[in-house]
Amino acid sequence: MANSDVRYGLRPIKHLVTGATSGFTTRRYYVPSTDATALYVGDPVDLAGSADARGVPTVTRATAGDTYHITGVVAGVEISDGVNVPNLNIAYRAASTARYVHVYDDPFLIFTIQDDGSAALGATEVGLNANIVFTHGGSATTGLSGAEIIASTVAANASFQLTILRMYDIATNALGVNAEWEVMINLHRYLATGDGDGSLGV
């Protein structure tokens, strides 16, 4: 049976160290109105080099591709002035709006993500590294990201963004195009090696 082509970005499923499968912690980051890129749940983000008036770090959507770091993954969006009770009842952060995002920024989280179908990945790709691609935009209806991994360029390169741990073991998933994979962030902003690379794939 062919895999469904249903993109959702990166979705946390387990903590590598504790084994927890829920209750993952997030931290608040700020996205200013000057950022013209919309953000969706499941989008990878990276530090943008600034902060709001209360010192909350700014983030922007992570750049897809070789050598670009990732700080974490968007878990939710809020409207807030940083002081009053926030409104969490919005699906995504529209472009050019000042918002706070809650981000899974623990470098030891395991995520699932769909591949883009540009190649049929098999068992030999497990342990290799992959880059993210934004061929498809996020959905304003579901609020979910369109991020995927590029199946056709999976390699051992330490400068690639994600590490493929295994195929996601659910009944509706199989080896082949548009499969879902368990991954970890290889180029994590809070865990990168001194030379700026992550780990070599195997």
* pLDDT single digits (tens) 138-175: 999 999 999 999 999 999 999 999 999 999 999 999 99
Altogether, the residues listed in the chain come to a count of 202
Helices H, strands E: what count in the chain? Answer: 0, 13
Cα 177 from Cα 152, distance rounded (Å)? 10
b or e along 174-199 (b: 16 or more beta carbons within 10 Å of the residue's beta carbon)? eebbbbbbbbbbbbbbeebeeeebbb
pLDDT band at 84 (very low <50, low <70, confident <90, very high): low
Regarding predicted confidence, which is higher, 1 or 147? 147
- For residue 144, the model assigns a pLDDT of 98
Taking the model in full, what pTM does it have? 0.93
DSSP strands (E only) in the chain? 11-15, 27-31, 44-51, 57-61, 72-79, 87-90, 99-104, 109-114, 129-130, 132-133, 148-149, 162-167, 180-185
Q: Which amino acid is at 104?
A: Y
What values do phi and psi take at 123, rounded to 5? -65, -30
- Tens digit of pLDDT for each residue in 96-108? 999 999 999 999 9
- Each domain of the chain, given as residue ranges in start order, spans 11-17+108-185, 27-104
